[in-house]
């Protein structure tokens, strides 16, 4: 059963002051309305900061998890009239922008991944520290859960997933252990899976600071929710929708996400896309965006001490060229 927990807000918005600083309405906007899309609204922490600090802001709030969006709706009630909610994958939201008459945004925020509530209270098996059904779906109506992947994928395909989406060095051993375990009975819970992984890896791997199940759980979550494809679709769609001089900020939490963001921005930041062997530029290309931070911003000590989950966060911000 899915236990969605209480209605208090437990997720602390990451890099909040940095996000506000880069995505606040600019002085040059002439005091007009500033439209923002919060593509990953969660419990609405970032959204609340923007709406409360900047009366000229109008927010479109997107989240694929209906429970999260309900909580954000309740939290953002005082700003009714300046905020709309969309229970969609952000990739789909950007595809449907035009047909839904969404105004072109001046600001877009992606705060990727999961909210603390997913780990602590969703009951959907995102954490190996709790024994819960192996589900991991952000959108509970999606047909495939982590349980299906673990119990039906052929062993080599499972190993490939742990290698590519978990960067797990013991991917093959873990996949083999899962394949053996499921011959007797399907793997149903996070506790069962954690034990299988624990026994599959060498003893020295168990003594490391990172729990040996971390990477396997990450890989399963990414696959269950098609997170990397979603991110590519979201960046493409969001950037296409953004107004000239509009800004986009992306907070990523692991290297696979950050690599996609960095490459996407890097490609659009190139003035010329001609092959290097051409003696002169023929594409007459011009940059599509400026990088507002050359190196990603990361949380300071005070933030990581207060909120250890912020440790791996990286914020990149760009501005679309005219």
Ligand X SMILES: C[S@@+](CC[C@H](N)C(=O)[O-])C[C@H]1O[C@@H](n2cnc3c(N)ncnc32)[C@H](O)[C@@H]1O
CA nearest neighbour of 261 among 107, 116, 110: 110
Least separation in angstroms between residue 110's CB and ligand X is 8
Nearer to ligand X, 42 or 238 (CB): 42
DSSP lists the bridge partners of residue 109 as 38, 249
Nearer to ligand X, 40 or 190 (CB): 40
CA distance 218 to 213: 9
Least separation in angstroms between residue 100's CB and ligand X is 15
Least separation in angstroms between residue 47's CB and ligand X is 7
Least separation in angstroms between residue 146's CB and ligand X is 15
For tokens 């927990």, what's the residue? 5
Nearer to ligand X, 119 or 198 (CB): 119
The DSSP symbol for 88 reads: S
71-107 CB burial, b ≥16 within 10 A, e <16: bbbebbeebeebbebbbbbbbbbbbebeeeebeebbb
For tokens 């911003």, what's the residue? 297
Q: Which two tokens stand for residue 205?
A: 């791997």
Nearer to ligand X, 212 or 237 (CB): 237
- Contact set with ligand X (CB under 6 A): 11, 13, 40, 42-46, 62-65, 68, 89-90, 111, 113-115, 138, 230
Nearer to ligand X, 72 or 174 (CB): 72
Least separation in angstroms between residue 92's CB and ligand X is 8
């Amino acid at each position: 059963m899915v236990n969605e927990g209480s209605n208090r807000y437990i997720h602390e918005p990451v890099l909040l002051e940095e996000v506000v600083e880069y995505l606040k309405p600019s002085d040059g906007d002439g005091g007009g309305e500033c439209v923002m899309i919060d593509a990953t609204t969660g419990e609405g922490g970032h959204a609340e900061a923007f709406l409360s600090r900047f009366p000229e802001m109008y927010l479109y709030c997107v989240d694929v998890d209906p429970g999260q969006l309900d909580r954000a709706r309740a939290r953002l009630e005082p700003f009714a009239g300046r905020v709309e909610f969309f229970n969609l994958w952000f990739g789909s939201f950007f595809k449907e922008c035009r047909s839904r008459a969404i105004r072109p945004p001046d600001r877009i925020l992606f705060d990727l991944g999961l909210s603390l509530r997913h780990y602590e209270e969703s009951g959907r098996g995102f954490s190996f520290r709790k024994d819960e059904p192996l589900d991991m779906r952000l959108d509970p109506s999606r047909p495939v859960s982590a349980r299906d992947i673990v119990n039906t994928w052929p062993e080599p395909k499972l190993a490939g997933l742990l290698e590519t989406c978990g960067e797990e060095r013991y991917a093959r051993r873990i996949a083999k252990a899962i394949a053996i375990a499921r011959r007797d009975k399907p793997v149903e819970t996070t506790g069962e899976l954690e034990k299988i992984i624990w026994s599959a890896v060498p003893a020295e791997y168990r003594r490391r600071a990172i729990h040996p199940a971390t990477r396997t759980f990450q890989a399963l979550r990414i696959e269950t929710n098609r997170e990397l494809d979603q991110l590519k679709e979201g960046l493409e769609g969001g950037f296409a929708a953004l107004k000239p001089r509009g800004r986009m900020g992306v907070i990523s939490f692991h290297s696979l996400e950050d690599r996609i963001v960095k490459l996407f921005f890097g490609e659009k930041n190139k003035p010329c896309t001609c092959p290097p062997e051409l003696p002169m530029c023929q594409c007459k290309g011009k940059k599509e965006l400026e990088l507002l931070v050359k190196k990603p911003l990361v949380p300071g000590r005070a933030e990581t001490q207060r909120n250890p989950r912020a440790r791996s966060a990286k914020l990149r911000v760009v501005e679309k060229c005219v």
